[in-house]
């Protein structure tokens, strides 16, 4: 590792970067995926990494995260973003001392994103070999999302503007990684005041039957809805 630098007052000088764990539920068989990009330079050339880059003078960490992420996707697609945590292991970057502050971002399932050829979406449960400690940071982001699905309304950020309970259940299952009962999910979310019927129904299918009702989330700002609740496999 390169010798740590100090300024004239003997205060340590080191690189601080902002990076983003951006999650989206994608595919016909919904999977929770994360946005990564192939590194074109050493260290870890050819491996996948999270969107990241250095913090500039006069720039906040949040602004830095948005700036570097905007090079990989349209940040207007984000429905939610929060600070995830900071990594400061002196050994995390083999080239120089680097402190990293990570953010968690979410893109709604229905939004189509345009990304450069060197970036791609990968399932969180089947990551490629990742650079630095980015696999651990992705795991931390997934754990944060899953925890907040239990006691907040953060599912609004994953879902389209309106949905059937079957569609919402599939999103929860993809995000949580286990089966969820549609009946129980509707009961819990309704008790918490998170759901409202739109008055519309899903277009009838070829098999007939009564079309499913469509719902929406009542609030699109993060709220703690039940601080003691946990959604676990049944």
pLDDT band (50, 70, 90) for residue 2: very low
Residue 205: how many other CB atoms lie within 10 Å: 9
User: CATH 3.90.79.10 occupies which residues in the chain?
Assistant: 5-150
Residue-level pLDDT at 198:
96
User: CATH 1.10.10.10 occupies which residues in the chain?
Assistant: 161-217
**Residues 139-161: pLDDT tens digits?**
999 999 999 999 999 999 999 99
Given a cut of 60, is residue 232 above it in pLDDT?
A: no
What mean pLDDT is reported for the chain? 92
pTM, rounded to two decimals: 0.91
Q: What is the mean pLDDT of the segment spanning 91-112? A: 96
| Rounded distance between C-alpha atoms, residue 70 and residue 232, angstroms | 35
Assigned architecture for domain 5-150: Alpha-Beta Complex (3.90)
pLDDT band (50, 70, 90) for residue 209: low
CB burial of residue 17 (10 Å; 0-12, 13-18, 19+) = buried
Provide the β-strand partners of residue 192. Answer: none
| Rounded distance between C-alpha atoms, residue 88 and residue 143, angstroms | 20
CATH number for region 161-217: 1.10.10.10
Residue 191 has φ and ψ, to the nearest 5°, of -60, -35
């Amino acid at each position: 590792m390169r010798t740590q630098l100090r300024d004239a007052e003997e205060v340590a000088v080191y690189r601080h970067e902002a990076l983003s764990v951006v999650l989206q539920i994608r595919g016909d068989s919904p999977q929770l995926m994360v946005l990564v990009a192939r590194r074109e330079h050493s260290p870890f050339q050819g491996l996948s990494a999270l969107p990241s880059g250095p913090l500039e003078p006069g720039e906040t960490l949040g602004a830095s995260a948005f700036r570097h992420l905007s090079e990989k996707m349209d940040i207007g697609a984000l429905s939610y973003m929060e600070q995830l945590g900071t990594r400061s292991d002196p050994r995390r970057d083999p080239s120089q001392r680097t402190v990293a502050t990570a953010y968690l971002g979410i893109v709604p399932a229905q939004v189509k994103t345009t990304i450069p050829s060197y970036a791609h979406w990968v399932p969180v449960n089947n990551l490629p070999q990742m650079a630095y400690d980015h696999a651990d940071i992705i795991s931390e982001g997934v754990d944060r999302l899953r925890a907040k699905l239990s006691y907040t309304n953060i599912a609004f950020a994953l879902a389209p503007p309106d949905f059937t309970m079957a569609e919402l259940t599939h999103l929860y299952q993809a995000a949580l990684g286990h089966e969820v009962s549609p009946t129980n999910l509707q009961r819990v979310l309704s008790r918490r005041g998170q759901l409202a019927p739109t008055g519309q129904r899903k277009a009838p299918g070829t098999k007939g039957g009564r079309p499913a009702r469509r719902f929406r989330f009542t609030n699109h700002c993060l709220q703690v809805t039940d601080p003691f609740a946990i959604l676990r496999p049944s």
